[in-house]
Every structure is written in structure tokens, then in C-alpha cells.
Structure 1
């Protein structure tokens, strides 16, 4: 899953809502759905009070940047104003890149303040454990506050009371949300409006990590005492088959083993299963907490040393060290009756326990091959 990120150094806003340039990486940063919703809301409320849409519309982000956003849609009629902004995620592979985020604003009763509604394509929270109460639109706290601040600013400038109903919608949002964690987290009907800084930092992976944390929160709130961090859909199926876990106990860990372990350390459950491919879990066994191929590699020398500990001959140990892939290494060992898979699982469990550092969490590890067959357990 790709998604919004929530931090990082940026060069500052650029006109027209176009993504800016990251100072250090040369990649373009982008804007979160929360920033886009705030820009659309600011423009819509301004038009409701003045009859004119500011285009581009400038907002102030939590860290002081002031990007300007071009409007892609405008409507002023029947006591309401609608403005739309196309999200630009910069160079991040964000599933919401290019989505049209709309805000429709109408006046509310005196003293009502700002009331948020979920329009088409924005989800509604149906499970406890998220930062928004059950029944509320899936608009996170920081974007809510950002919109409130800008509504108050527009009201002060143009003589409004600031009592409004704000409906956020995302074109095709329900379809896009199927590519996110939202259905599993109990956010139904569409996307979440996210962001803590307003800025998407390419490949910072914080959105995925945030989803892992929310997954743990939802599982705990549902009373789950056993969760599974899985590297992919095949390992999820294996974890379900072995342990009979419900969907809301499954964490889409991907490559972020460290994120799961560090969060579970602070928010313990009785039991954590780590399930994944043999090659990825061999990296965890070797002490790597980020299992992505760009940031850690399978250490076949380490596999060879494990094989030797498991009774491999000198010749087999050398063959494992020279193996082309981790798959070849475990096939060689399996054929010789050397339990390399179990040894890798034990090593991965040892790394996990080291990260958990005495937290009251029981850990088991399941290693699988590409076909989903279990090749090691600890």
C-alpha cells in the first residue's frame, strides 16, 4: 500500500498547488489530502461569504509553509459553495495522487461551530481504536483543526460567524480506498483525510507505518490478544490457517518489521505472530528491521553459518554460501535434512524479542516459501 506521509524537510510551497522540491533528495514533495481539503474548504467558505472564489487559494500549513492551490472545480448556488482541488503527491507513489478532493460548505445554525460530514468517497469510522470516534467522518484530527483555523480566519476577514457544515468528498474515493487499509480498519465507504504536516515526502513510508500502528490500535480496541504481522497476502493466509485469526488481527507489516515490533512494545498484546517469506525473515534473523531489498540484503554467509550450526557438512555449508538465492539455500538444506528454515525462524524470533525488550508479548515466527508452504517455525 502506498499512501500519504507525514513529515520531512521541504523547501516551501509553490504556486498553483504544484509539488515542490525536497532539499536533500531532489524528489518533489506533494500535498496531503488534509492540505487539499483545507485549501478547498478555504476557497468554498470565502466564496460563500463574498461571492468570489480565490484562485489560486493560499493556506498556511502547521509548520508555516504557505502553498497555493489552483481550483479544479467551483460551484456557488442554493446557499452552498463547492470548491475542488486535485491532489498532487509529488514523486511519492501515493494511491490518492490525482484525486479530486471537494469541499462543500454551507452555513450552520448559530453557535454550532464547524461540523464535518463525509461526502461521496470519504469513509466513516465504524470501529474503535482510531483517533476519530465511531460514526464520525474519517477526517483525522490535524486536518480538522487546520480547516477550523482557516474557517476562523476567513470568517474574521469577511464578517462571517464561522458556523458552517463542511462536507468533504473525493471523486472515486470508495474505489481508491480498496487499495488501502481502510476496510480492515473499519473505515467504510471511502478514503481518510490525512496528514499531520500537510506535506507528502516521497518514499518516507510513514503512511504505511502509521497504518500498522492504527491496525494495532483497532485490534486492541476490539479485544484481540493475538495479532500477526505478515509480509504479504500469502503469509496472511498461512497465519489465518495456522492460528484462526480474524481479519482485524492481521497487520500488513510488509517490510516494516521494526515498526510492528516497536509499536507492540509500547502497546502490548499477549501474542504476536510474525509470518513471512523465508528470504525476508532471514534478514530479520540477521538483525535487520527494514526488510526492503533497497535497504537490506539476504546474507548468504549468515545462512551458511546457520546451516553449519544445524549440522550441514562443509560441502553443503559452502554450497549455501555460494547459493544464487535464499530459495536455493533452503532447498539445498531441505534436501539434506538440515532445518535451515527453523533456524532462521528462531533467529527472527530472537531479533523480535530483543526489540521488545521484556514487553509481555509472546512471539512465534512462521517462515514460508513462495508457494505458501511452511518451511520453518519457532
Structure 2
């Protein structure tokens, strides 16, 4: 049986509730019951430790359990420091401590996003009298070291992890059970629309909505792009727009249709090969091939354009986008018994959620999606 576990915001909220309980009762609590809000159900979260630091301050610790998800936060401790006081008019003030990332595009605000904010505030406010105020500081002691193994910096979050997500249930994005859930959503939306948008993760979903794409046409795929493309074709979907972060989506140009980093990478090979085919100098190709991230390659190409008046970003990424489209068509055709296959177009964006390139097919598809 699949164990879906819970997301980091849930454990942060449980720790905060346990710390507040100590401030009130001067007694530790072993298990916290909290409202997940999304979905509307209660969760029972074990508390590892509670300590009173002063008459007005307490610390509680929980430990992450993401269930069957391949998640690097498994077993990591989550601390919540709760103290009386705060901002006038705000019953619950939330702060990010050590290990919580900073949003460099939002004046270094703590990377504690809307669901986490709502979860903490709604659960804690229910426990407070009308005149009471508290300050909650969330700390991830291992957050800074774990962050270097994520793509957080690619999306402008540095020095730690994010409290991100739209639900309290941890979705095991790499498990077959999660693929079944994605396919079920695809089947439902394919019955309504001939043109759909595939987004690997939350950043793509959010940006697509902001661009005016009809949210009902959005389908989350996580890393299961290959099976989802084949399923869409079997369901008779006419057009798929692949909408994703360039460091993920370019893997398709190398024939990698399950994009989890534990299985395959190939980004530097894709980038270096396209740069070589387009005539980039040997010296710059070596820089590209040895760059630590796709974002670093993009930065290097931009610097070449700025210094020489060239158009390497557009040339390289146009070629990659067209290759993605072609490889997707080949993949679908090789797995399909239909005579007329689903058409694919691709849109790639960068760490700042700015569109880098739209393939020719993507430009044609986008008019059907709003």
C-alpha cells in the first residue's frame, strides 16, 4: 500500500502547535492533531521533543516523513520556535530561521509560501485568544546543506529549503502510484479538451496560469513525461504544450523521457552538442560542457551576447526546443498505433520564470489554450 506521507509545512505546523502547547500548559505533547486544510482532513503528527527556553518562549521538534516520495528531506528535523508577542494586528507572525531559504527576487523574504502560511496561521489562530499574539520562527538545521542538492537556486531561493506546495499530502512523484494519479487527471481533461499543457512541477503550473493559459487545461506530469505523452496520444489529444524549466525540459532533447535526476541527466551533453552544431568556439563549448548547471550555461551565453552582439541564447535554445519537439514526436510514434499522432510544442523558462524560447509549434498551439 502506498504511503503518501506529509509535506514539510505540515511538520513545521505540528512543531509550532507543540511549542505553543508548552507555553500554555508547561507540559510536552507527544502527538499533534492538525487540520491539513488542503485536503480537508486531520493529520496526527508525532513530536520528537519540546523544550521551554524561557517563560515566554518554547521550541519543539518534529521530523519529516514524505512517505514513498524520493525526497531528500526524509528524516530531517524541523524546529519551531514560538514566543509571545508580534506585530500589532497580526495574531501569528511567521519568520524563517536558519535553513529556510531566502527569495532573492523578493527582497530576501523567507521562502515560506502561501499554503504553508495559511496552514500555520489557521491552525495556530484557533488556539489563541482574541488578544493573544505569537511569533513563530521555523528552522531547518539541515536546510542549508540539503539545499545544495536541489534546484532551489535555479528559482531564486538561496541559503536553504522552501516551505512550498499546495497540499499537506506528500505526493510520491516518482512512484507508479503517482503516475496512475497523473494519468487519471489526464484522462479526465482529455475528455474535455483537444489541446493540453504538460507542466513538470509547481513553477510551470504557476507561470502558465499567470500567462493566461486556462487552468483547466494544465496537467502536472512530474518526471513521467514519456508515459504521459503516450497516454495523451492514446486518448486522442491533438496538441500538447510542454511547459517547463529549461534545466528539466532539455533532457527530452537527449531522448530522456523520465527526468528524475536519480535516473539520468544529460543536460551538459545536450547543451554542448547544440552549441557545437551551431558553430560556437571550442573554448566556449568547453565552458558549456564543464558548467555545473544549465543556468550557468545560460548565463555564459547571455554574457557572450552582451559582449559581442551575438544571439547565442536564441540560436541555441531555438535549436534545443525544436529538438525537444522532434524527439517527442519520435517517442510518441514509436509507442503509438494511431495513424495521426499528437503534436508537441515546447516552452522553456529560466530561474526568474522568464520565457527563454517558444518553439515554432508551441507558438501555434498557444493560441488554442487561453
TM-score in terms of structure 2 length: 0.56
Q: Distance in 2 between matches of 1:250 and 1:162?
A: 50
Matched, 1:285 2:311: no
Gaps spanning 5+ residues in structure 1: where?
A: 1-25, 128-132, 219-225, 252-269, 289-297, 303-345, 361-378
Larger of the two Rg values belongs to structure:
1
Q: Distance in 2 between matches of 1:70 and 1:115?
A: 24
| CA spacing shift, 1:54–1:301, aligned 2, 3 Å | closer
Deviation track 1:231-278 (CA, whole Å, cap 9, x = no partner) reads 143146436786999828969xxxxxxxxxxxxxxxxxx996463998
1:115 counterpart residue number: 93
Pick from 236, 258, 268 the counterpart of residue 234 of structure 1: 268
Counterpart in the other structure of 2:25: 50
Q: Which runs of 5+ in 2 are unaligned?
A: 183-198, 211-244, 252-264, 289-293, 300-313, 338-342, 347-357
Contact (CA 8 Å) 1:113, 1:162: kept in 2 or not?
yes
Aligned-partner Cα distance in 2 for 1:100–1:194? 17
Q: Verify: 1:172 aligned to 2:142, yes or no.
A: yes
RMSD of aligned Cα (Å) = 4.2
Aligned counterpart for 1:152 among listed residues 108, 113, 125: 125
Once the two structures are superposed, the pairs formed by residues 251-270 of structure 1 within 5 Å of their partners are none
Post-superposition CA distance 1:299-356 (Å, at most 9, x none): 3999xxxxxxxxxxxxxxxxxxxxxxxxxxxxxxxxxxxxxxxxxxx9977x964454
Q: What CA distance in whole angstroms lies between the structure 2 residues aligned with 1:286 and 1:83?
A: 53
Match of 1:314 in 2: none
* Per-residue deviation, 1:45: 1.5
Is the alpha carbon distance of 1:136 and 1:348 closer, same or farther for their aligned partners in structure 2, counting shifts above 3 Å? closer
Alignment-derived partner of residue 89 in structure 1: 66
State the distance in 2 between where 1:347 and 1:59 align.
43
8 A contact 1:32–1:199 mirrored in 2: yes
Q: Which residue of 2 aligns with 1:308?
A: none
Indicate yes or no: 2:238 matched with 1:209: no
Number of residue pairs matched? 249
Q: Note if contact 1:235-1:275 (Cα within 8 Å) is conserved in structure 2.
A: no
Q: Normalized against structure 1, the TM-score is what?
A: 0.55
The answer to whether structure 1 residue 196 and structure 2 residue 166 are counterparts is yes
1:106 aligns with 2:83: yes
The aligned residue for residue 143 of structure 1 is 116
- Measured in 2, the distance between the counterparts of 1:65 and 1:352 equals 43
Query: Within 1, Cα distance between the matches of 2:70 and 2:365?
Result: 37
Residue 357 in 1 paired to residue 364 in 2? Answer: yes
